[in-house]
A and B are shown apart, each in its own frame.
Chain A
C-alpha cells in the first residue's frame, strides 16, 4: 500500500515536472520585470469616447493620448454594455492613438444606436494572451483593479470611460459644399432646359468625326459590308458605356435607313441586353423593325483579353466596312483598333480613358476625346432639350475657369487661397440664408 502511494507521488511529480517543462518550452520569452515602472502603473481615465460624426450610426470612436514611453505598448480595448463585455480590439499599437468600434459586414450586430457603452483599455508590453482575453470578457469580473497579471507579464488597466451612445446623422455636413454646388449646378441645368423649352436657339459646334458617321455607314453599305459597333469593356453602371449606348442608338438608326447589318459584340450580358433594346428601338424608329436581328448583338465573354481575341477574330472574318469603338476601353484599345485598321475599315473611336486616347488617335480615322464623346449623341440628334444640357455644361466650365483664375490671383496676392476658403464662404452664405 505504502509502496503504491510512493509510486503515485513520484509519477505525479513527474507529470508536474513534465508539464512545467513543456510550459517553459512553449513560452517564447520571459516577462520583463522592468516593463512597468511605478510612475506608469496608474493609467487613470485615458479613453476619450465619441460618436463617429456624420455616419449612418452604429459607430463609436475611441481616442487616447499616452505618454511617449508607452507608445510601443500594445493596447486592448474592452467594451461593456450592462454586464456583457466584448473585446473591441486587441494587440493594437498604443501609438495608433485611435480605434473605431463599428459594424462590419461580418458582424452587423455590433454597436447599436442609443445604447450606453463603457470602454476600458488594457496596456501590455507583449501581445495579450488568450487566457487574459477570456478573463476580460468573463461576466463576473469587475475591471476595477489597476493591474492584472498572467505568468508572463503585467497588464495595466485604465479606468472605465463612458457612457457613450452612437447615433445616426440625417445630413453629412462634410458634404455640404458638394450639396450646395449640386443645387447650383442642378439649377443651371434646369434653367437651360427651360430656355430650350421656350424655344431659345442653341448652338453646338462641329465635332470632328461625327460628320463622318453618315459617310462611314454609307460606304459600308455600298461595299456590302456590315458595321461593327464595339462598346468596350464597361458595365451599364459606367457613364461612358451609357454614352456609347446612346451613340449606338443614333448610328443604328442610320444603319436601318441604309438597310445594312450592325454587329455589336458585347463584354457584359447586361450591356448586350441593353444594346439589343437600343438597336431594336432605332430600327423601329427608322421604320425597319423587320430587318432587326437579335443575334447580331451577341455576347462574347467577360474577360478583357478573351473579348479582344473574340472581337479581333470576328473583325477579320466579317470584314466590317466601318468600326465604331465607343465606350470604356483599357489596354485592349489598340489591339482592336489596329486589327480594324488592317481590314481597311473606317474607324471612329471615342473614350474617356485618357491613357487610351493616344492609341485611338494613332490608329483610328476619327477620335472623340472625353467630353466630345459624351456630347456625341446630342450632336447626332439635335434635340432642343439635349442642346440645353450641353449649354449648361459650358456655363459650368466658365464658372470653373473663373474660380481657377480668382484662386490664382488671390494666390499671387499672398492670401494662399485654397478650397477651405470656399468652404468657409459657402458656410457663411448658408448661415446668412
Chain B
C-alpha cells in the first residue's frame, strides 16, 4: 500500500494531526482545528435543530395536523428572544421557569423509582460473603453521605469504611475504563498509519 491519494482522507488525517499537536503546546494548527470543530459542530447542530424542532415539532403539527397546543411552547420559545431587548428581558424567565419546573418535577418520580430499584437490588438473593460485603459497602457508603452530623466516634469510624469502599470503586472504575480509551487511540493510529500513510498493511 502507498500513501493515500484521496483528498478526504488527507483532510481527516491533517485535522487529526492538528488536534494531536495540542499535546506539545497550544499552536495555530490546534487553534485552527478547534475553531473549525466548534464552527462546524454548531452549524451541524443548527441544521439538526432546524429539522427536528422547527419542521417536525412546530411546522408539521401546526400546519398539517392542526395541533394548536404547540402554540404554548412556541410562545415560550419566542419569549426567550425578549433577551435581545433590555427592558423586556425579564420575560425570558417564564420559559426558564417552565423548563426548570418540568425538569425537576420529572426527576422526582424517577428518583423514587431509582431508590426502590437500588434498595431492592441490595436485598440478598442468597446469603454469601459477597452479598454481605455488598450490604456493608452500601450502608457504610450511605453513612459517609450523612451531612447533618459530625463524622466523629462511631459514625466517623463507619464513614471511614465507607470511604474505603468509595476509593476501591474509584480505582476499579479507573482501571476498567482506560482500556476503552486506549482502544480509541489505537483506532486513530491505525487510521494514520494505514489509511493515510499506508506504511503498514
Contact = CB atoms under 8 A, between A and B. Distances in A.
Interface string A302-330: 11011001101100110000000000000
A239 interface: yes
B138 interface: yes
Interface string B145-161: 11111110000000000
A309 B33 contact: yes
A404 interface: yes
B146 A239 contact: no
Contacts of A273: 80, 83, 92, 96
B7 interface: no
Contacts, number: 155
B31 A419 contact: no
B38 A301 contact: yes
Contacts of B139: 401, 404-405
Nearest to A378: B147
A309 B115 contact: no
Nearest to A400: B119
A12 B104 CA distance: 75
Interface centre among A178, A182, A301, A369 (most CB of B within 10 A): A301
A277 B148 CA distance: 31
A357 B170 contact: yes
A313 B123 contact: no
Contacts of B108: 182
A354 B148 contact: no
B127 interface: yes
Contact of A317 (B26, B40, B171): B26
Contact of B112 (A178, A239, A404): A178
Contacts of A411: 123-124, 127
A418 B155 CA distance: 28
Interface size class of A (residues with CB under 8 A): 35 or more
B133 interface: no
Nearest to A204: B147
B6 interface: no
Interface string A226-256: 0000000001111100100000000000000
Contacts of B107: 237, 239
Contacts of B52: none
Nearest to B184: A331
A391 interface: yes
Given A237-B102, A310-B34, A411-B127, A404 B148 contact: no
A375 interface: yes
A238 B104 CA distance: 8
Contact of A390 (B35, B100, B148): B148
Interface of B: 19, 22, 26, 30-31, 33-35, 37-38, 40-42, 44-45, 80, 83, 92-93, 96, 99-100, 102-104, 106-109, 112-113, 115-116, 119-120, 122-124, 127, 135, 138-139, 142-143, 145-151, 166, 169-171, 173-174, 177
For the complex of A and B, the 7 pairs showing the least CB-CB separation, nearest first, are A237-B103, A303-B41, A306-B41, A358-B170, A358-B174, A419-B120, A301-B42
29 contacts: A204-B147, A204-B148, A235-B103, A237-B99, A239-B107, A242-B100, A242-B104, A273-B83, A300-B38, A301-B42, A302-B45, A305-B37, A306-B37, A306-B40, A309-B34, A310-B34, A310-B38, A313-B30, A313-B31, A357-B173, A358-B170, A371-B145, A390-B147, A394-B149, A397-B146, A403-B119, A407-B122, A411-B124, A417-B123
Interface of A: 177-178, 181-182, 185, 202-205, 207, 235-239, 242, 270, 273-274, 277, 300-303, 305-306, 309-310, 312-313, 316-317, 354-355, 357-359, 361-362, 369-372, 375, 387, 390-391, 393-394, 397, 400-401, 403-405, 407-408, 411-412, 417-419
